[in-house]
Amino acid sequence: MQGVRKYRLSEEECASAYSDTIINVIEGVISQRFEGRSSLKTYAYQIFMNKCVDLVRKNTTHKRMVHDTLQLDPLVMSLPDKARTIVQQLVEKSEKGLLMQKLKELGDKCRELLLLFEDGYNDREIALQMHYQSPEVVKTTRLRCLGRLREKVLGIES
């Protein structure tokens, strides 16, 4: 509830940040990054607050546009359920086709990196698989590729 009140995030976003926090705390204790200079509660609280700030930043930058879903026209919403479902499926298929076309335009490396990330691989795993120097390089490259993809999808050519 702290994330909802303090950062005006949704309960779903806060629950996600909380679960990420627990995973990070466990990894921190196991890898000995947690040095015991504060209580475990303080350590977990700080990680959670950082996760919330990251979500706020994500929500307030243009990157969010990549994550936004298409709002269907109100006329489509007035269709019967079965017809609306068919229209929604056609729109999704069209969007997926456009996205795959734009992914191809990015080049092999970007496409492979983004598809691996979409499949659930983390930056460390991608770094190993694609022979990058570090997970940080993967993250930077991924964000750059996402920016280029966003520009292509929105028709902004740099």
Q: According to the model, what pLDDT value does residue 36 have?
A: 85
SS3 136: helix
- Quote the CA–CA distance of 146 and 74 in Å, as a whole number: 30
Q: Which two tokens stand for residue 146?
A: 């996402």
The average pLDDT across 11-34 equals 88
**Domain boundaries along the sequence of the chain:** 2-60, 65-154
Instruction: Find the angle CA(133)-CA(138)-CA(139) to the nearest 5 degrees.
Output: 135
User: How many CA atoms within 13 Å lie on the side-chain side of 45?
Assistant: 7
pLDDT digits (tens, 9 = 90+) for 123-138: 999 999 999 999 999 9
pLDDT digits (tens, 9 = 90+) for 76-120: 566 666 666 776 666 676 777 777 788 888 889 998 998 898 888
Say what the pTM is: 0.44
Q: According to the model, what pLDDT value does residue 55 have?
A: 84
